[in-house]
Amino acid sequence: MAGLPMDQRDGWIWFDGELKPWKDAKVHVLTHGLHYASCVFEGQRAYGGEVFKLREHSERLIASGKILDFDVPYSADQIDQACRDVLAKNNLVDAYMRPVAWRGSEEMGVGANNNTVHVAIAAWEWPSYFTMEERLKGIRLMWSKWKRPSPETIPCKSKAAGLYMICTLSKHAAMDAGYGDALMLDYRGYVAEATGANVFFVKGKEIHTPTPDCFLDGITRRTVIGLAKEHGYDVIERHIMPDELGQFDECFLTGTAAEVTPVSEVGDYRFTPGEACNTLVDAYTHAVQPKKAAAE
C-alpha cells in the first residue's frame, strides 16, 4: 500500500458532500487551484479512531479559505462529521487526514469569483514523518537558501498550498544533501521554521521558539507550548538570530506530521536530545492517545 501512487490506492474520499471511491476523486486539469494556488488544506491525525484537535483544524480550514477570499461551503460541524465518516468508511483507527478546499474550473484566469469551491477529505495510514531511528537520535537539518516572506507579500496566516512551494524546494535540497529537513530563516534573517514544522530550542528550564509573525502558528505548536508549561518549563516566544543557536542544549520540531521530533544538528550547531525532548515526546503521546495512556 505504501508504495502505490496516491491516485491508485483503494478506499473512499469525501468529495463535495459524498463518499466516493478513491480512484474516482478527480479534478480537471484546468482547475483554478492547480494553476493559481487558490487552495487551502489541513494536515491532521487520528489516534485511536479520534482526530486530535479536530474542531481547531476544521475551523482553520474555513479561516484559511476566507483569507484567500473564498468561502468553504460547509460548516465546521459538517467538516468534523465528514472526517469521522471518512475514518469509518475506510476502517481506519490511526491515520493521517488531508481536508482540502480549492477553486474549481468554471473560468480560467487570475480572477475566479465565479468558480465553485470544492472540498475533499482523504485519510490513509502514514507513520511518523521521520523514521524512528531519526527521532531517537535527533534529525539533522541544513539551512535553507529560501526565506519565509514578509506578511505584506503573502497570506501567512492561511494554510495555503502555494506557500509550500519554497518548502518543497528546501526539503528536496536537504534530502539531496543527506539531511532530514531544512530550517528556514524569515525575510529579516530571524529563525523561522522547518519545511513543515515549527522549531523550539531549549536551555535548562527555558524553551525558546520563534514568534510566528510571518509563518503559520501550528496547532501542534500551541499544544506543545501548553504541555511544556504544564511540565514546568518557561516558554519564550521571540525573534531568534541564527548565531544564537550555540547557546542552546536541545532542539526539537513540532507538527501534525512530525509530532515532536528531536533535532541533533542545524548546520554547524549540535544538540543532544535530553530531558526536555523526552518529556515532551512522552507528554504529546499521552495527549494525543489518552485511551492508550490510560490502559498503560
Catalytic sites, residue numbers: 159
Residue 183 to residue 185: CA distance in whole angstroms: 7
What DSSP letter does each residue of 207-255 carry, written as one string? EEEE--SSS---HHHHHHHHHHHHTTPEEEEE---GGGGGG-SEEEEEE
Rg of the chain over all Cα atoms, to the nearest angstrom? 19
Q: For residue 99, which of 165, 46, 156 has the smallest C-alpha distance? A: 46
**Number of Cβ within a 10 Å radius of residue 48:** 12
DSSP state of 33: H
Residue 27 to residue 117: CA distance in whole angstroms: 12
Residue 161 to residue 186: CA distance in whole angstroms: 18
**Number of Cβ within a 10 Å radius of residue 132:** 9
3-state secondary structure of 191: strand
